[in-house]
């Protein structure tokens, strides 16, 4: 079968059918496969890391029995969820109920497309879609993710999911503005909305050093965006049972779960790209040492993944440290603190830029 497929490809190339368009398609599909594969792997192992790290933080052991150090736990979890009965409660709005988990996972998978995860590998840019309006694509799709949660809350036709969904919507409008404002400073400095160019701008100095306030606001907003503690009001176990996913089970629940962690991966990737130099390796001139080879390309990708992992660890660390905000505190923080601070950040950046001119 594989030989046959390889024969077909060879035949195509010999016949001159390997047009630039076809080459582009194959390469893009390969990049898509690699990115989605790595991302889903990260999602699975972030879940395990979360369970083990929170156990360490709380002086427990965590899941350590499946495989060495519990490393096969995600496989066991996945098998369990696949084998569970797919229950469709009688009282739900069936179409939206089934649609909601998919809508939650989709934005995370779509936004990762514009993140540059490496420099070049064999002359090929390591980004799936090199969009000129990359960050707008990220923001617009990230906002869509909340629709999944709101829809789940509504379609479940049950009070706790409903409250969770409403909270999620209210949280979104409190944070989306501050998030948008906080990155304007970045683009004023970098002069482009293209994420690849933002990364190139940071080759000498990470933007977190030039935009500390912007980074702080953006990070807080990202925690809210991914529904992680201290902003996990939509699912707050203690007060809302499980919030928007109360009525979900089996793979539909797993999709929500994967969506949450995939959103964490995307949020980390965006933070790394905008403020921490993306795939750039600090202090080490990789290309002078290794030359422009596949090896240096892999080093850049590895550096990006390392930074990503550091941020994922931060997400986990914060979740097991901070308690949840009360609802009015969240609104206060969003509207009365982060929004003015975001405006202040833009003003300061503009003043500095004007002063330099």
Closest listed residue to residue 281, CA positions, set 202, 163, 221: 202
Give the integer Cα–Cα distance in Å for 270 and 116.
10
Q: Is 335 in the site for another protein (CB under 8 A)?
A: no
DSSP 89: -
Judged by CB under 8 A, the residue of 25, 29, 61, 88 near another protein is: 61
Between helices 212-225 and 159-190, what is the axis angle to 10°? 150
Residue closer to another protein (CB basis): 55 or 121: 55
CB 211 within 8 A of CB 275: yes
Q: Is 57 in the site for another protein (CB under 8 A)?
A: yes
CA distances from residue 245 to 47, 83, 91, 108, 263 in whole angstroms, order as listed: 17, 19, 15, 18, 16
Under a CB-based contact definition with an 8 Å cutoff, are residues 62 and 56 in contact?
Answer: yes
Q: Pick the stretch among 9-17, 133-141, 165-173, 312-320 that binds another protein (CB under 8 A).
A: 312-320
Single residue of 11, 60, 94, 159 touching another protein by CB under 8 A: 60
In the complex, the smallest distance separating the C-beta of residue 64 from another protein, rounded to whole angstroms, is 8
Contacting residue, 96, 320, 327, 335, with another protein by CB under 8 A: 320
Spell out the residues 6+ positions from residue 181 whose beta carbon is closer than 8 angstroms to its own: 217, 339, 342, 343, 345, 346
321 binds another protein (CB under 8 A): yes
Residue 202, H or E segment: none
Question: Residue 58 interacts with another protein (CB under 8 A)?
Answer: yes
Stretch that binds another protein, among 30-38, 50-58, 176-184, 191-199 (CB under 8 A): 50-58
Scan residues 63-82 and list those touching another protein (CB under 8 A).
64-65
317 binds another protein (CB under 8 A): yes
State in angstroms the smallest separation of the CB of 333 from another protein: 8
Among positions 53, 137, 147, 257, the unique one binding another protein when judged by CB under 8 A = 53
Residue 55 or 66: which CB sits closer to another protein?
55
327 scored as a contact of another protein (CB under 8 A)? no
Candidates 49-57, 158-166, 221-229, 272-280; binding stretch for another protein (CB under 8 A): 49-57
Choose among 76, 79, 86, 34: nearest CA to 51. Answer: 76
Question: CA 28 → CA 32, 33, 119, distances in Å?
Answer: 6, 9, 16
Q: Return residues touching another protein (CB under 8 A).
A: 53, 55-61, 64-65, 317-318, 320-322
């Amino acid at each position: 079968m594989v030989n046959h497929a390889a024969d077909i490809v060879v035949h195509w190339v010999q016949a001159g059918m390997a047009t630039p368009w076809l080459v582009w398609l194959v390469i893009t599909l390969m990049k898509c496969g690699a990115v989605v594969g790595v991302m889903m792997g990260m999602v699975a192992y972030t879940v395990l890391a979360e369970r083990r790290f929170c156990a360490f933080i709380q002086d427990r052991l965590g899941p350590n029995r499946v495989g060495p150090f519990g490393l096969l736990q995600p496989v066991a979890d996945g098998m369990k969820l696949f084998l569970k009965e797919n229950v469709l409660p009688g009282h739900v709005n069936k179409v939206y109920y089934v649609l909601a988990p998919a809508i939650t996972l989709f934005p995370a998978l779509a936004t990762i497309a514009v993140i540059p995860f490496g420099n070049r590998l064999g002359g090929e840019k390591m980004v799936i879609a090199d969009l000129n309006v990359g960050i707008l694509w990220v923001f617009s799709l990230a906002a869509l993710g909340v629709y999944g949660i709101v829809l789940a809350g509504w379609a479940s036709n049950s009070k706790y999911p409903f409250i969770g969904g409403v909270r999620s919507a209210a949280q979104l409008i409190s944070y989306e503005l501050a998030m948008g404002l906080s990155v304007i400073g970045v683009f004023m400095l970098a002069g482009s909305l293209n994420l690849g160019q933002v990364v190139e701008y940071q080759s000498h100095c990470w933007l977190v050093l030039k935009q500390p306030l912007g980074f702080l606001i953006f990070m807080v907003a990202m925690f809210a965006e991914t529904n992680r503690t201290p902003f996990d009001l939509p699912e707050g176990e203690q007060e809302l049972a499980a919030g928007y996913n109360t009525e979900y089970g089996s793979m539909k629940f797993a999709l929500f779960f994967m969506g949450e962690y995939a959103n964490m991966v995307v949020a980390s990737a965006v933070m790394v790209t905008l403020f921490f130099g993306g795939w750039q390796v600090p202090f080490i001139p990789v290309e002078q040492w290794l030359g422009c080879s596949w090896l240096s390309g892999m080093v850049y990708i590895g550096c990006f993944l390392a930074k990503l992992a550091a941020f994922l660890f931060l997400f986990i660390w914060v979740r097991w440290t901070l308690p949840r905000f009360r609802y009015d505190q969240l609104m206060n923080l969003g509207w009365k603190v982060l929004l003015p601070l975001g405006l202040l950040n833009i003003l300061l950046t503009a003043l500095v830029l004007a002063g330099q001119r």
